[in-house]
Amino acid sequence: MSPDTETPEAEAEAEAAETPTDAAREAVRDRFGAELGDAVVDSHITVGHTLWVRVTAEAWRTAGQVARDHLGCRWFDFLSAIDWLPSPYGRYEDDGLSPPKDIDATIVTGVAGGETRFQVFARVVNVVDQTDIIIKADVPDDSLAVASWMPLYDGADWHERETWEMFGIGFEGHPGLRHIYLPGDFEGNPLRKDFPLIARMVKPWPGIIDVEPMPADDEPADEPAADDATATGGGEAP
Amino acid sequence: MGLIESGKSPKSLTALLNISRKYSLWVYQWGLACCAIEMGAAFASPRFDVMRLGVIPFPASPRQADLVVISGTVTDKMAPAIRRLYEQMPDPKYVISMGSCANCGGPYWDSYSVTKGVDQIIPVDVYVPGCPPRPEALLEGIVLLQERIRTEDPAARWRGEPIHVT
């Protein structure tokens, strides 16, 4: 999934030489990189599917500008964020009553790499050429804010408000960061991995408690069930 | 109406009034999620034809409605609007909670944003279980509500304490 994280250009070109190539997306990536220069940190191409480009947080708005003005990506698809922190509560499905003991807090990021806990990412599309690009950027852990894309795409308004309320990531220059889906007095950022689901702490997930057999399992289990009763629990029965 | 509010209405008149009210329920549709599709099938399609039960699904506003069907996922953000809707309805008023979400939160029982049952906001007369309930289930809920209306004491209903917003 991440063969080109070490040496992006060389690895990507070597891969492109031997595997099905995606000349269109490589051209987009090269034009994008030529405009942005050092601001491009990493990139990844899923052949025939997606182009990911990771830029620095400082160049977040510039990257959007370049995509809009130089790549013709006039259509803003979406903007959101990722919290790469493993959940400190573990998977509730593993054990309904208590969190798992050992939780590996190592952050593992996805395609095009990453160094911080939060990443913002957005997809913009050139509807004429049918090309698209997903731009992502590490959000600095100390400020937890990037520049708003509102001056570039009006459509980013609600997406940034949602990202702000769900992840607590600020967008500098956004005219009105306020709650959009949650009540105005809501506290916390629900899509952060360390946001506790109080209901699950009070009551375990029912799926782990209700261990009734499926109806189809009942009939075949009849004869072995008699054996089980004598073998395990029914020591005194016979 | 003074007779009824004071509970001095003759029993035969009460029974007549109840039958009349039972068969002229103006229902307001409050569709919030996928249950609204089933509600639409029950209320608006000739296959199920709710009007043969005397239920009229065409009030222009909650102020003309006797009954509201809360069908779908009630979120904490939607809750104040539902409360206001209920207060706008004239007495006597009835509520049907349709589907698991409106009954208790349903599959979203652990969500950070879903109200765990619309009965935390407004009183509910009939709960229709299902995820989503079939249109027949909603029709049965309406029939149950009609039975309740037929046998109830209007005075008790009309004397109900006013509900204050907190």
Looking at residue A208, what is its pLDDT? 62
Let me know if residue A44 belongs to a domain: yes
Q: Are B76 and A195 within 8 A, CB to CB?
A: no
| Count of domains observed in chain A | 1
Nearest to B109 among A182, A186, A199 (CB): A199
Asked if the structure places residue A232 within a domain, the reply is: no
Any idea which of A121-130, A214-223, B44-53, B87-96 has the lowest mean pLDDT?
A214-223
Instruction: Give domain status of residue A215, yes or no.
Output: no
The shortest CB-CB distance from B77 to any of A182, A188, A190 is to A182
State the average pLDDT over residues B25-36: 92
Looking at residue A230, its pLDDT comes to 41
Residues 6+ apart with CB under 8 A from A153: A64, A68, A76, A124
pLDDT at A99: 55
In the prediction, which pLDDT does A118 show? Answer: 93
Q: What is the dihedral of CA A224, A226, A231, A234, to 10 degrees?
A: 150
Mean pLDDT of chain A: 79
DSSP state of A91: -
Residue B90 pLDDT grade (very low, low, confident, very high; cuts 50, 70, 90): confident
Determine, for residues B112 and A197 on separate chains, whether the beta-carbon distance falls below 8 Å: yes
CATH number of the domain within which A31 lies: 3.30.460.80
Nearest to A137 by CA among A164, A112, A111, A119: A119
Interface residue A202 vs chain B (CB under 8 A): no
**Contact criterion met (CB < 8 Å) for B111 and A181:** no
Percentage of chain B modeled with pLDDT above 70: 89
A-chain residues within 8 Å CB-CB of B113?
A: 181-182, 186, 190
Residue B165 is predicted with a pLDDT of: 39
Query: Average pLDDT, whole number, for chain B?
Result: 86
- In this prediction, residue A236 has a pLDDT band, given cuts at 50, 70 and 90, of very low
Residue A1 lies in a domain: no
pLDDT of residue A3: 47
Nearest CA in chain B to A192: B112
Residue A199, min C-alpha distance to chain B (Å): 5
| Contact: B110, A197; criterion CB under 8 Å | yes
Answer whether residue A229 is part of any domain: no
Which residue from A182, A200, A203 is facing B113, i.e. has the nearest CB? Answer: A182
* pTM summary value: 0.74
Indicate whether A8 belongs to any domain: no
Residue entry with tokens 């003309």:
B64
Instruction: Kindly state whether A75 is in contact with chain B, defined as any CB-CB distance less than 8 angstroms.
Output: no
Q: How far apart are the CA of B6 and the nearest CA of chain A, in angstroms? A: 42
Which chain B residue is nearest to residue A183, measuring alpha carbons? Answer: B77
A230 within a domain of the structure (yes/no): no
Mean pLDDT of A139-149: 92
pLDDT of residue A11: 61
Share of chain A above pLDDT 90, in %: 37
Q: What pLDDT shows up at residue A95?
A: 53
- Of residues B58 and B154, more confidence is placed in B58
Q: Does position B140 have pLDDT exceeding 80, yes or no?
A: yes
Best A91, A182, A201 member to test B by mutation, with max B CBs in 10 Å, is A182
Which of A93, A167, A186, A189 to probe the B interface (max B CBs under 10 A)?
A: A186
- Residues of chain B positioned with their CB less than 8 A from the CB of A197: 110-112
Residue-wise pLDDT tens digits, B69-80: 999 999 999 999
How is residue A67 annotated by DSSP?
H
Chain B residues touching residue A195 (CB < 8 angstroms): 112
Angstrom distance (rounded) from CA A22 to CA B146 = 66
A207 touches chain B (CB under 8 A): no
CA of B152: how far to CAs of A222, B5, B18, B146, B158, in Å? 50, 13, 8, 10, 11
Domain housing A28: 21-210
Residue A128 falls inside a structural domain: yes
A188 to chain B: nearest residue by CA? B112
The residue that leads in pLDDT, B146 or B163, is B146
Whether the predicted pLDDT of A17 surpasses 90: no
Sequence-ordered list of residues with C-beta below 8 angstroms from that of A36, at least 6 positions apart, any chain: A55, A59, A62, A63, A66
Question: Rounded CA gap, A47 and A123, in Å?
Answer: 17
ipTM summary value:
0.72
pLDDT band (50, 70, 90) for residue A228: very low
pLDDT bucket at A114, cuts 50 / 70 / 90 = confident
Selected for mutation to probe chain A from B104, B110, B115, B116 (highest A CB count within 10 Å) is: B110
Q: Which chain B residues have a beta carbon less than 8 Å from that of A203?
A: 109
